[in-house]
Structure 1
Amino acid sequence: MGDLRDLLRGLEVFAGDLPDFDPAAAPDDPVELFTEWLLGAVAAGVREPHAMTVSTADAAGSPSARVLILKNAEPGPGGGWQFAAHRASLKGRDLDQRPYAALTFYWQPLARQVRVRGPVEPAGPGPSAADFLARSPGARAEALLGRQSTVLADLATRDEAIAGSRARVEERPDLVPSEWTLYTVRAEEAEFWQGDRERNHTRLRYRRAAGGAWRRELLWP
């Protein structure tokens, strides 16, 4: 245990050349700044920059978190951050009970983090179906099973079930499970965190004010 503690304390953080961040020049809408940072992560070669941790809670308040892929982000009063899930999954059940989520993006080479939280709204059948059909055949086959997070007897059982589901996808490429849902996080808060080697981190938080306008404020590191 002591060796692990020493190893962890010795690992380098915030290495390399880090980008500048001037909060005074940030746009009025957090989705616009998020898009700038996301495109910057893409240009910097960050792997899977659209991956995010989605945190939810069940009816008793017990939290769960997992990494999902961002599907879209749109500015404006009707915009938000989107992801998709099967409503019978753990996250889908959480969102049915408590329609609220937190999203966390971390682009390690740039020492940049974005945190978003707010109520979650499910989309209708049309947008949800369009999202499902845009997935790869393998991803659709797995989702059609509707068994995520349930107990699995062995890997052979998994492989057999997925093979059968993939055959269904090949026979009916337009097949969409009714439980597949596209969700939008209507952010109440969005924080942008720029790390600094000397720990002089810069934090800018957007908070939704009355009437829907955004208010910006700096936070202590």
Structure 2
Amino acid sequence: MRELLRSLPALSGDVLPFDPDAAPDDPLALFGEWFAAAVDAGVPEPHAVTLATAGADGRPSARVLVLKDVGPDGFAFATDARSGKAVDLAVNPRAALTFWWQPVVRQVRVTGAAHHLGAEASAADYLARSPASRAAALAVRPGEPLGSVAQLRDAMSAARERVDDEPGLVLPQWQAWVVVPDALEFWQGSPDRAHVRLVYRRSAAGSWTRSLVWP
């Protein structure tokens, strides 16, 4: 495995130009620019993001999910209250997000406080999802033992029938969350390893400062 790993190419995407001196004062504006550039470059599923949390015992956990919104309040996602991430955030409401856009050799890292947006926002998020997505959420019991894949598919089939019969049905355990960033890092990779790292940090007053850091 060691030889295989070392034989694989790295930083093989098409590097985009980036002038950190010309970056906007608001990191969310820069995120919007970088996200649009990723979409234009054909990056597959650029809204996929790794969410890292830690439980009451400090043990970290990470998983990939889909970003649902980004705006002045922060980065939004949703999950089942019974999921591991929701359980972690209930006791330790800090989170980290990482976007990796390999085709353009860019990474964005976000850290901040996570907030549950409440029942109304959670219901709106759930109902905005496709019937298949709503049925999948309705059918599952996150983290519980599963007897077989057939059992899973039977549960999802039954849930889809219920969603079709009750289009206004909302899963009570569904939760919408937002990560309010206090730091964002924009990482532009380079084949010569002179990677550019631009870090924004939010002050106690709410304003942003930015600086370059060594790779």
TM range (shorter): over 0.9
Residue identity opposite 2:123 in structure 1: A
Give the aligned partner of residue 18 of structure 1.
15
Give the aligned partner of residue 163 of structure 2.
169
- Distance change (3 Å), C-alpha of 1:66 and 1:16: closer
Identity, in percent, stands at 51
Contact 1:89-1:146 at 8 Å conserved across structures = no
Contact 2:49-2:65 at 8 Å conserved across structures = yes
Contact 1:88-1:146 at 8 Å conserved across structures = no
Moved more, 127-136 or 99-108: 127-136
Contact 1:203-1:220 at 8 Å conserved across structures = yes
Moved more, 117-126 or 106-115: 117-126
CA positional deviation for 1:128: 1.2
Give the aligned partner of residue 102 of structure 1.
96
Equivalent-residue separation in structure 1 for 2:195 and 2:118 (angstroms): 40
Residue identity opposite 2:165 in structure 1: E
| Aligned: 1:42 with 2:36 | no
Equivalent-residue separation in structure 1 for 2:64 and 2:130 (angstroms): 18
CA positional deviation for 1:145: 2.9
1:83 is aligned, of 77, 80, 96, to 77
TM-score under structure 1 length normalisation: 0.94
Contact 2:13-2:102 at 8 Å conserved across structures = no
Q: How many residues align?
A: 215
Aligned-CA RMSD value: 1.0
Give the aligned partner of residue 117 of structure 1.
111
| Aligned: 1:152 with 2:146 | yes
Residue identity opposite 1:58 in structure 2: G
Equivalent-residue separation in structure 1 for 2:4 and 2:140 (angstroms): 41
Equivalent-residue separation in structure 2 for 1:155 and 1:181 (angstroms): 26
CA positional deviation for 1:210: 2.2
Contact 1:86-1:146 at 8 Å conserved across structures = no
Contact 1:106-1:114 at 8 Å conserved across structures = yes
Give the aligned partner of residue 27 of structure 1.
24
Contact 2:13-2:105 at 8 Å conserved across structures = no
Contact 1:189-1:207 at 8 Å conserved across structures = yes
Unaligned runs of 5+ in 2: none
Unaligned runs of 5+ in 1: none
Contact 1:127-1:182 at 8 Å conserved across structures = yes
- Distance change (3 Å), C-alpha of 1:45 and 1:199: same
Contact 2:53-2:85 at 8 Å conserved across structures = yes
1:211 is aligned, of 202, 205, 209, to 205
Q: Secondary structure at the match of 1:200?
A: coil
Equivalent-residue separation in structure 1 for 2:13 and 2:185 (angstroms): 23
Give the aligned partner of residue 128 of structure 1.
122
